[in-house]
Structure 1
């Protein structure tokens, strides 16, 4: 089995790429995909550890996109970076960093003192986000965990929320395809995505833009939602994946290997990557 959606300290996870590989080996996973937010910097470390431990590591990314005004996450697997993709990713990461002072200012106005230095002390990689603000609040004893910080201040619609930069959904799919990747829509039935990623929209993304798969299995999809998405993927003739969306201790209920994809389905994913000229 494979866990096809994980995060490391390179973005907003709490485990290093090596630690993820070690945990995957302990769990008996065949492999996993490292899909840090808008950054590929952890792939080499993860693959080196995977080779040592006998765990296959798939080079992945979770790209920040937008559709109909709603944030959508797009998983790309088997990426061979292109100059255009590198440029877009660098812009997304720069925008992620630029919004942090605005969030800190809004927190200050809410009577919650926080400094940029305190936030950056929580950052281990090159992709900065709201979880690092949450971690700074945890470190100061203001909240008990990330979920509390998001619920009180940082989630969309809460008083310290600042939108992150994104790319257009179709543009994102095209960029990833051009980099040789197989492209899967992440957790399409959570939060705002559930309102705009209707069955009809997903079907259009498949027929008109070559979407390769749907993340049907996810900790935030209930049993009925998973069953509906697996059936939809079969109807559309695309891959249905299952993944934990592991962030280490940063997300409760998303433990590595808690939701997985069978080896046969992952093999189909790897064949798509190979046919597209991606990194397998």
Structure 2
């Protein structure tokens, strides 16, 4: 069984519509796909309605969180699976995070425009098409305007953290986010815990604290992790009784990685489901 538990659609910063993503997942030979758009569940219904025969959908989201370390605040992404999308705390937090994304995105574009880069806020909003505004949308605007040749190049030159155009956003703190997801009946899993700077904050001690608060797993098999990272994370997961998951973190043409690039063991998915309330079950065509 081929299980990819972390993908993004047009509902956030991917480039494939939720329904088309289900078709693509089936064509890629997946048996199970997790739809985990940033700070939104807007793609759930369309994805569930478009499931090809034999494909199972795990409904989820990826929350923007942070951890405070000495002299720095580190961004950490937290995957949430099978939570109640109508939970009032979840609803309020997703609304707030989407507003933060919009404000941050427009501020970054404003800084670029002030330096003479040929993009506009209206252009970025049109590309986002109602989805929570993310840096990949700005990257696509830079590609459209001929500033860079790819979204990857845009991140390297213009969008990366600590760059001259980067603007932080006010996320939710990681530990309360874990508790929020558990309270909403879901299963929280830390996304790519050794990629993109997260390793500075996600010490074994903090991961143990998160596990005590209800963290279910660590996304170990991910493009951002080398063999050393994966071995370390597997050891931490084994010591704390956490699940190990794997995924592509697919974003369509915004990233080079393809569906099924990394996979989750079926036994891990079975346990993950048992750690949820059952309010939001798996969906199979």
| TM interval, short-chain normalised | over 0.9
Distance in structure 1 (CA, Å) of the matches to 2:232 and 2:176: 27
**Matched residue, 1:38:** 39
Deviations 1:163-193 (A, max 9, x none): 1230011111111111110010010001221
CA contact (8 A) 2:118 2:145 kept: no
1:6 deviation in Å? 0.3
Which ranges of 4 or more aligned residues in structure 1 deviate by more than 6 Å?
Answer: none
Distance in structure 1 (CA, Å) of the matches to 2:80 and 2:207: 16
CA contact (8 A) 2:80 2:181 kept: yes
Distance in structure 2 (CA, Å) of the matches to 1:174 and 1:224: 29
SS in 1 for 2:131: coil
Considering only aligned residues, what root-mean-square deviation do their CA atoms show, in Å? 1.2
Distance in structure 1 (CA, Å) of the matches to 2:118 and 2:250: 30
TM-score in terms of structure 2 length: 0.93
**Matched residue, 2:164:** 159
1:28 deviation in Å? 2.1
**Paired positions, count:** 275
**Residue of 243, 251, 254 corresponding to 1:250:** 254
**Matched residue, 2:12:** 11
Distance in structure 2 (CA, Å) of the matches to 1:278 and 1:223: 37
**Matched residue, 2:226:** 222
The within-5 A match list for 1:120-269 is 120-207=125-212, 209-252=213-256, 254-269=257-272
Distance in structure 1 (CA, Å) of the matches to 2:243 and 2:41: 23
Deviations 1:191-211 (A, max 9, x none): 22111101121112112x111
Q: Which sections of structure 1, spanning at least 5 residues, go unmatched? A: none
CA contact (8 A) 1:22 1:53 kept: no
Distance in structure 1 (CA, Å) of the matches to 2:9 and 2:100: 20
1:277 deviation in Å? 3.8
Is 1:27 the counterpart of 2:40? The answer is no
CA contact (8 A) 2:113 2:120 kept: no
CA contact (8 A) 2:36 2:61 kept: yes
1:260 deviation in Å? 0.6
CA contact (8 A) 1:21 1:53 kept: no
SS in 2 for 1:159: coil
